[in-house]
Structures are given as structure tokens and as C-alpha cells.
Amino acid sequence: MKPPFEQALGIIRQLKRHGYEAYFVGGAVRDLLIGRAIGDVDIATSALPEEVMRLFPKTIDVGSKHGTVVVVHEGTAYEVTTFRTDGDYEDHRRPESVTFVRSLEEDLKRRDFTMNAIAMDERGTIIDPFGGQEAIERRLICTVGAADERFREDALRMMRAVRFVSQLGFALAEDTKRAIVQNAPLMAHISVERMTMEMEKLLAGPFVAEALPLLADTGLFAYLPGLAAKEQLLRSAAAFRWPWLTKREERWALLCRALDVKDIRPFLRAWKLPNKVIDEAGAILAALDDVPRPEAWTNEQLFSAGLERALSVEAVRAAFCGALSELHHEELRRRFAALPIKTKRELAVNGKDVIRWAGKPAGPWVKETLDAIWRAVVSSEVENEKERIYAWLMERNRTHEKNC
């Protein structure tokens, strides 16, 4: 048994010692069978939440009314969830109630896709009542039971299906795809935050080129923020090199460029992204417009952007143009390392120095003067030494007064 599961065996064995069933379930088991890196290990058990909390010294009640308790075992947190069935889904988002049961199969039956409805016991034996292993072998995403029913229960499952295409490179089973087309309007019931979580995972997947056209094919795009009028551009976006991007800001910047979004702030706000992400994506796109080619960076532009943003700009440019060159990145790193200062904090003078030298009250002119100084330092017009900057500034002022 692989290490992520071995480390959690103590929880399984403790539950079984007290007469309860317990199994590894969900994405970790799926990824084990696929051969992917295994992430969080989750456990399903016949023990009720209060029984789980009595058995372990360190637990966190993160949702006991829905059956989930976090057990901290040997320094690692694991979600332990009671076998359950879901009540009616009246809003196409979440069940109105859950009922705890003692049957693993009943618990697996409520899950979205067959590849996610597989369990494994402490000996490594696979329990697969709904054909998840066959779906994995055929590289198909199939719902557990009737696809219409699964998607009417929780409409976000349609977006999850397309997201799994991006992450795994699997195809949608025909009945699954057909049901998404029929039920796409139910996405109107889903919160933007939940859609954004799925979209970010989709854009980060290695098979995003297969997933983006599916958003158009299935009609899901019409219910995603700002995409209703972007069908053809969305299809064209599949041609870009998304896997070359490593940061969420880069991916949102490329999406804006791919969809020809003119005013990016309202578009990204519609996805309810953090202001930090919106600001950085906007800065990347602005620099992309200001610097027409990788070799066109000036020292001033490189300093203003900073190395990380400059590298992001070139990553987005490469993904958009389809021409990745590590030489451009290395040249940017070399040039940035050669700059006399890397941040404004490294400047040898500050606002107090400038005010004292000028002998006049503070005002907007102080920032303007400091900006002129760092530009001169970065462009090697003056060395970053206080005395030399003072002399340069005095000469600059004399020249300005003479010209006026």
C-alpha cells in the first residue's frame, strides 16, 4: 500500500477495532488506480460522527451534521465521513438533508461519477459496485446511475465533468454529455464562487485543450460569467499552450486575451476573484501591451514590473503565441540581476532627503522626484550613492530652471 494510505491506516484500524466499517474512498483511490499523484486521503465509515469523535483524541467538527469530522492522526488531518444517503435536492445545489446509513454501497451510490465511487479496504482490496474501474480503463467519465438525475441533484456536477476532462484527459460518456446539454440551464442555480473553483481547476489541467471546446459543445459556457457571447473565441482558446502557465493570474490573463476582453476588471470581478488576482492579471496584460516583444524590455520596464511579473508576462506571451523560449526567461533573469537596484527600497535616498535638499514643503512633487531618481539609477544615468544623486538632482534642477 502506498505511503499516503499507509499513514492513514491507523484511523481505519482504530475504527474497525471498535466494530465499525471503514474504507478509503474518493479521489485518492481513483488516482491510485489511474497512476496519478495522490492528494488528500479521505475515509468513509459506518461510525456516526459522535462515535468518531469519541474514538480519536484530536478531532475537528467541520460538518458533523453532514457526517464529516476531521481526524488529526500523526500530525496529518484526514476527513472521516459517515456513510450517508442524500435527501432531495430542491435547489439543484445541495441536498435538503442527509441520512446516515450503515451501508458502503448506499454511500457510494450517491456520488457523482463511477470513477469516484470506488472504495479500498485496509488490505488494498478494491470495492467497485458501479463499474468505476472499467470506466477508468476506457478513459470515460460516467455518472453513477442516470446522468439526468445526478445533474438535476447538483448542477455543478456538469462543470466538474468537464473539469475532469481537463485534469485526466478522459472523454465524456455519450449519455453523460447528452445529459449535460439537456440540463445546462440548471447552472443558473449555481453560485459564482463554486463555478470559479471548477473553472480554475479546468484552466490548470494538462488537457485543457480538450475541455474548453466542451464548454461550448455542451452549452455550459452560456451560464458562466462573461462567456455568453464568447463561444467561438472559447473554442479558439483551446489552441493556446495553457500547460505552460503555472500561476492562476497568468491563466486568467491568458483567458482575457484569448476572449478579447477589452475591460478586464468587470470581467474578472464577475468571477468574484480576489482583488490581488485581478490586479496582477491586469498588470500582466498591461505589460504585455507595453512590451511588444520579449527582447524589447527596457531596464525601466523590467524594474517597474519586477522579475516575477516579467516572467509571467513572457509565459503568457509564449502560451498565446505558441513559442516557448527559455532563453528569453534566462535573459530577463540576467538583466534583472544586473540592475543596480531591484526595488525602490534599495534607493540610497528617500523623501526626507529630497525635501531637505529642496527646502520646501512636502507634496506630490516628492514622489515625482523620487520616481525620476530611480529611473535615472536604473538606466545607469547616475550611481546609487547619496552624494552622486544629490549632484545629479541639483544639475537636473538647474537645467530645468534654465529651460523655463
pLDDT given at position 377: 97
Q: Which fold has domain 241-339?
A: Methane Monooxygenase Hydroxylase; Chain G, domain 1 (1.20.58)
293 is in an annotated binding site: no
Compute the average pLDDT of residues 75-86: 93
Domain map (residue ranges) of the chain: 1-138, 140-239, 241-339, 344-403
pLDDT given at position 3: 86
pLDDT given at position 87: 64
pLDDT given at position 95: 62
152 is in an annotated binding site: no
Contact status, residue 314 vs residue 332, Cβ threshold 8 Å: yes
Q: Which residue has the cell 509565459?
A: 315
pLDDT given at position 94: 64
Q: Which of the 8 DSSP states describes residue 20?
A: -
Compute the average pLDDT of residues 324-352: 93
Contact status, residue 254 vs residue 320, Cβ threshold 8 Å: yes
Compute the average pLDDT of residues 64-79: 94
pLDDT given at position 92: 55
Report the range of poorest mean pLDDT among 76-90, 188-202, 256-270: 76-90
What top-level class would CATH report for the domain 344-403?
A: mainly alpha
Asked if pLDDT for residue 80 goes beyond 70, the answer is: yes
154 is in an annotated binding site: yes
40 is in an annotated binding site: yes
pLDDT in tens, 249-263: 999 999 999 999 999
Nearest Cα residue to 256 out of 311, 319, 214? 319
63 is in an annotated binding site: no
Compute the average pLDDT of residues 187-191: 95
pLDDT in tens, 208-239: 999 999 999 999 999 999 999 999 999 999 99
Compute the average pLDDT of residues 135-145: 97
pLDDT in tens, 312-334: 999 999 999 988 778 889 999 99
What top-level class would CATH report for the domain 1-138?
A: alpha beta
Asked if pLDDT for residue 97 goes beyond 80, the answer is: no
345 is in an annotated binding site: no
Compute the average pLDDT of residues 192-199: 97
Asked if pLDDT for residue 145 goes beyond 90, the answer is: yes
> Residue 117 and residue 383: Cα distance in Å, rounded?
66
Q: Over the chain, what is the mean pLDDT? A: 94
- Kindly report the length of the chain: 404
Compute the average pLDDT of residues 70-87: 92
Domain 140-239 classified CATH 3.30.465.10? no
Tell me the whole-structure pTM to 2 decimals: 0.91
30 is in an annotated binding site: yes
Task: Enumerate the β-bridge partners of residue 140.
Answer: 171
pLDDT given at position 402: 74
CB atoms within 10 A of CB 204: 18
